[in-house]
Amino acid sequence: MNRKEFLMTTGAALAGAAVVPQVLAAKSAVTQYSDNKTSDRSALTHKFRLEKDGKEAVNNKGGSIRLVNKSMFPILNGLTMYSVHLHKGGLREPHWHPNADECNYLISGKVLIGVLNPDGSRETVELNPGDIGYIPMGYFHYINNIADGESQILVSFNNASPEDIGVSDALGFVPNDLLGTTFGVPATVFEPIPKPKNHILVAPQG
């Protein structure tokens, strides 16, 4: 089995194995939450409307992200989920998660996931609706929408507070002269690159 097959098939099993014990451990949280809400028959203890009630992390010309974690839906003990909408050509900026594995389920559209492995090898996999892509903790990666229209991805992390370091953060942190030294070019080459103070997260097609 090659590495692409691993990402498309075995990755799903590994991701599931990582999160199932945490879901089982969360049963007590659900029970407690349900007990506290027994007088409110409208309480949604086993359902969460992510698209409607999820916390909006970003919404721009590139797309949008809504998230849910334990603070909003107690069953997600040690887990976080994102609903990612990428407009045509939209990019989930290159980034890595220092403290969480990532599992991507493509609901609609078509995306290209690029992954930089610790051994220096590089690979890209194309996801179509119904496909799952798995990205191990700490692996540098990006997600690009290559569909003719919008793509939607359900992203799951095995951490209640997944950390995110984007390439915009990294380049914004390193002084231009050190970037020049790294790449063997004059520092002036990097002067046009913006130094954002906040996560870009999702970028529109250039």
Q: Does domain 3-163 have CATH number 2.60.120.10?
A: yes
**Which pLDDT does position 9 carry in this prediction?**
45
Q: What's the mean pLDDT in 107-133? A: 96
State percent of the chain over pLDDT 70.
78
Of 173 and 25, the structure prediction assigns the larger pLDDT to 173
* pLDDT tier at 175, thresholds 50, 70, 90: very high
The SS3 of residue 18 is: helix
Ranges 63-67, 187-191, 202-206: which has the least confidence: 202-206
pLDDT digits (tens, 9 = 90+) for 17-70: 444 445 444 444 444 444 444 444 445 568 899 999 999 999 999 999 999 999
User: Burial level of 41, CB count in 10 A (0-12/13-18/19+)?
Assistant: exposed
Domain ranges of the chain: 3-163
Rounded to two decimals, the pTM is: 0.78
For 130-179, the three-class secondary structure string (H helix, E strand, C coil) is CCEEEECCCCEEEEEECCCCCEEEEEEECCCCCCCEEHHHHHHHCCHHHH
**Which pLDDT does position 44 carry in this prediction?**
52
